[in-house]
Amino acid sequence: MAENTPTKLKLPKLVDLVSSNLEEIYKNELLNQYLSQSPPASWIKTHPYIKNYKYLPIDKIELLLRKIFKRYKIEVLKTGMLLNAVETSVRVHFYHPIFEEWNYHDGVGACEVQTKSQTGSLMLDMSNISPGAISMALPIAKTMAVKDACDHFGPLFGSDINRKDTVEFKPDQELEKKASKAHTDKIEKLLAI
């Protein structure tokens, strides 16, 4: 019986798939490289209650949103109770500086509801919940959800702080060559007129 060996397809290079607007795509590649850098070490904090957990405070996330995207807005999609915690889902809308269009990332967050001492956190009848517990927990859950959504931007926003075995982002060299050639060709055509 003949052995079925799969035919190995020669896949196209990424640059061949995006040739319609190389300069714009290459600028986005550079933005991705920028977003793939680590945040300043002085920004990274160690969580006071979670052992060995590092995080980027929300003020740094908001600063990066303002600096990089210039226009953004936070939409709360949902809030609710989840076991002994409040949960929040948000959508972080941002104006993409290269493609000049609105985009978004979704995120989720939760925070345990504070209960009266010595009653146990899983006893969620209303008499067990500390006064002001929901009003404290809900903004924390929202903050966690915003940070979760912004993780999608990359390491600069803290996505890799607690990860191991990450891969360094490097721009596509073929894309850079073709974008540079396309830019040079465009200038030569303008000068020929």
pLDDT, tens only, 95-125 = 999 999 999 999 999 998 887 766 555 555 6
Q: In whole numbers, what is the pLDDT of the chain averaged over residues?
A: 85
154 close to 35: Cβ distance less than 8 angstroms: yes
pLDDT in tens, 4-24: 777 788 877 766 666 567 778
* Contact predicate 141/133, CB 8 Å: no
Domains and CATH numbers, the chain: 42-158 (3.30.390)
Residues 88, 78: contact at Cβ < 8 Å?
A: yes
| 60 three-state secondary structure | helix
Cβ neighbour number for residue 146 with a 10 Å cutoff: 23
167 Cβ partners below 8 Å, 6+ apart? none
